[in-house]
Every structure is written in structure tokens, then in C-alpha cells.
Amino acid sequence: MAEQLQAVSYEDALAWLRNHQFDVLDAPGVSNRVFLKKYGVSAAIQRDQEGGVRLFAKPGYLISGEIARLVDKGYQKFLKTTKAEIPATADHLKAIHNFSEELKEATGSISLYNEGLGTVSDRYVYDRVTDRDEPEVMRPVRPWEAKKAKSNKKKQ
């Protein structure tokens, strides 16, 4: 039988995070939102309307002061910011994973089995054919598809 999660208040979560060596920085110009840093990873949480915790910015490795998104291209994971994309190392992935697990513990969030096995990416880009995940009617016509469509029309 599944265990019931205990709701954690925003203040209790902040206390837990501070006691576990997280750097807690108030977000400039916004009340009840903080940035968290540990292991070179950062995220942001805020107080929700019921006084609980809501994730504002997902955990990501810090690169030049920006939280990088983890992109999986099948053969390699990358850390991507608005200005750079670098290959993610095992140390980067361990840091993101440890940070995420500790943040879930602090906030009383669910820790899923597949996430417990390793780091989960923000985006998966497994091949070089873009727009493949779009519905068929929204996909652009590829050159090889256009040629096939022309030959089918000629046969009719």
C-alpha cells in the first residue's frame, strides 16, 4: 500500500534546506520565493497559496550564473543555457541527481522509482529529424516525402 505524503510548510522546507547546507537566497523583488544552491546546482521554490512549497525553477547545473537544462540526445546528455551547450559529465549528473533527491525530501515531494535510478532530462532529442514528435499534419514535408507524393500523383 502506498505511503501517504505529509504536507510540508514553506517555512519547514526552508529550515530543512538550511540545516542541510543549501544556500538559500531570496529572489530579488519577489517575496516568498528563494533560489537554492548546492553541489553547483540551483533551483527556485516559492510559497503556494496554502502555505506549502511549489517548485518555481527545476534543478539544473549552474553555468555562468544560469540554470542549465539537461538535454538528452540519445548518445550524450548536454547542459544547455541560452548562451552555451556543453556535454554533461558523470559529476554533473550526480550533482543534479543528489540535489533533486534532497529537494524532494525537503519539500515532501514524491520520489519516483525511475527518477531514483538516475538523472531525468528536461528534454529528449534522440535523432536529427526535427519535428518528428509533432502530429503528422503539423510536420513539414520532407524532400523524400515530396518526391514520393509527386510519383504517386503521376501513377494515378
Alpha helices in the chain (DSSP H): 10-19, 90-107, 113-117, 143-155
CB half-sphere exposure, 151, CA atoms < 13 A: 6
Q: 70 with 95: CB under 8 angstroms?
A: no
Q: Average pLDDT of 76-80?
A: 91
Cα-based angle 137, 140, 144 (whole degrees, multiple of 5): 110
Q: Give per-residue pLDDT as tens, 97-146.
A: 998 889 888 888 777 766 666 667 767 776 666 777 778 888 888 777 77
Q: Is the pTM of this model over 0.85?
A: no
Q: Answer positive or negative: Cα dihedral of 53, 10, 60, 28.
A: positive
Report the pLDDT value the prediction gives residue 37, as an integer from 0 to 100: 94
DSSP 32-43: TEEEEEETTEEE
